[in-house]
Structure 1
């Protein structure tokens, strides 16, 4: 059975070296649990032994002890999987996580890396609502402030929420903007084109805008998901158009996706079988 990652229990743990006494057997147990989590399902003893680079005979006593404390259980077919106590630990960790606080603690690093303004947004009573703004060294002439919002149809962040937030929440805001723009010169919304844009956002996982809706200001936005697959935050990097590189493989998009994917992963997000926008 293929594993997603290997853990060498006899070598360096990957942790920073410290002048503290360490219990190697606990680190070995952690490597075993990490490999089982990466397997995403019941695994054979020999496959688990290969993943952690130990002989099956050496691995078996660890599994006996892990079974005794319900971190591991054995199926009727003799395969091994994470046990109920592992689930309890995971849920306890997730209950302590908060997407907003975690993002606040990290957003300064993203602003420093990109040298751009970064805004965090959530879904509020009136649609996409800005809850935090971290200024960058590059000043922009745009009204981006805490408590303000992003339009659903004209901004990267709005289309991001349209793509990944539940449709039952976003459709009313989209329809309201369509009604308000109807008949206004140059503001009418082409819904066929808009729906196509939203589908493209869902496909590639982020959105960008160039000189819109404010001329001279461009932006990129990406979502943060929690363990249930629900979008919790939108993270938007924005700056002067001549200074912000929005190529998909450029430094801005790369830094943004590292940030959102890392935060989502720490919030428990993994492969989801359902579409959170439904």
Structure 2
């Protein structure tokens, strides 16, 4: 049976050009010259000017006293509406099946609770693993990738009591916080055969528009099936997933 391909929908070219203008203004992050904006959009300044007139009329674009162009107040209003409508949990649940399908491993979602990282969702993998990862369970702060990830991006005063409880020795605490600093710089964390031999994991954070860490996404599986190198497929897939989700929640990379 032949399947009819859907016909490409016809759009409005002028609206797409207007969107390209707004995208370049957002990318610039500061007021820009007409000439530079035209070059970024790919049109000559004389063609760009009428679009800017219309965008100024609806307050999507504003012009400074020095003649530079920037996003206007209505663009800010739309952005705030978008941010308020976003929910890290809802968006994670909606997108998680795609990540699980790509990595073919267990994926756990954790949030910070009263006593540390709490597992709030688990997507089982096709391959059975011997790891006690279940909804309502806890990750230790010092012995897991997820725990060290939260320590890297949560306020230290919030995490320190749990660290002191798990590592009473001050020297071990100092070594732990040095390791956490490395995690913060890398932006993700991995564990090899820990805390369960034969099981490894990679964890990456999801941030909101304020820069606060909302949750952790942890991919877990048999050690032979996880390449923990930074450019390995599991790490790349996990980081790409959380980076895109954070960006869609309004987080600006490098804002921390």
* TM-score tier after normalising by the smaller chain length: over 0.9
Residue 230 of structure 2 is matched in structure 1 by: 248
CA distance in 1, matches of 2:179, 2:52: 50
Choose from 9, 17, 41 the match for 1:28.
17
CA distance in 2, matches of 1:52, 1:18: 28
CA distance in 2, matches of 1:222, 1:60: 43
Q: Structure 2-normalised TM-score?
A: 0.94
Choose from 90, 95, 108 the match for 1:106.
95
Name whichever structure is richer in helix by fraction. Answer: 2
- Mapped pair 1:96 → 2:71: no
Give the drift of 1:189: 7.8
**Is the 1:178–1:189 contact (alpha carbons within 8 Å) kept by the matching residues of 2?**
no
Choose from 32, 40, 46 the match for 1:57.
46
- Mapped pair 1:87 → 2:87: no
Residue 3 of structure 2 is matched in structure 1 by: none
- Mapped pair 1:144 → 2:126: no
> After the TM superposition, which parts of structure 1 deviate over 4 Å for at least 4 consecutive aligned residues?
none
CA distance in 1, matches of 2:90, 2:188: 22
Residue 198 of structure 1 is matched in structure 2 by: 180
- How many residues get paired? 251
**1:175-231 deviations in whole A, cap 9, x for unaligned?**
22224xx6xxxxx98223211210110111110111111111111101111111111
CA distance in 2, matches of 1:258, 1:143: 26
**Is the 1:152–1:173 contact (alpha carbons within 8 Å) kept by the matching residues of 2?**
yes
Choose from 61, 83, 98 the match for 1:72.
61
Give the drift of 1:145: 0.7
CA distance in 2, matches of 1:33, 1:95: 20
Give the drift of 1:18: 5.1
Choose from 209, 232, 235 the match for 2:214.
232
**Is the 2:116–2:138 contact (alpha carbons within 8 Å) kept by the matching residues of 1?**
yes
Q: Residue 242 of structure 1: SS of its match in structure 2?
A: helix
**Is the 2:164–2:173 contact (alpha carbons within 8 Å) kept by the matching residues of 1?**
no
CA distance in 1, matches of 2:118, 2:191: 18
**Is the 2:148–2:183 contact (alpha carbons within 8 Å) kept by the matching residues of 1?**
yes
The Cα RMSD (Å) is 1.6
Give the drift of 1:135: 0.6
CA distance in 1, matches of 2:42, 2:10: 24
Go from structure 1 to structure 2 and tell me whether the alpha carbon gap of 1:190 and 1:232 turns closer, same or farther (over 3 Å shift): same
Go from structure 1 to structure 2 and tell me whether the alpha carbon gap of 1:164 and 1:42 turns closer, same or farther (over 3 Å shift): same
Go from structure 1 to structure 2 and tell me whether the alpha carbon gap of 1:86 and 1:110 turns closer, same or farther (over 3 Å shift): same
CA distance in 1, matches of 2:196, 2:11: 56
Q: Structure 2 regions of 5+ residues with no counterpart?
A: 1-5
Choose from 258, 262, 267 the match for 2:244.
262
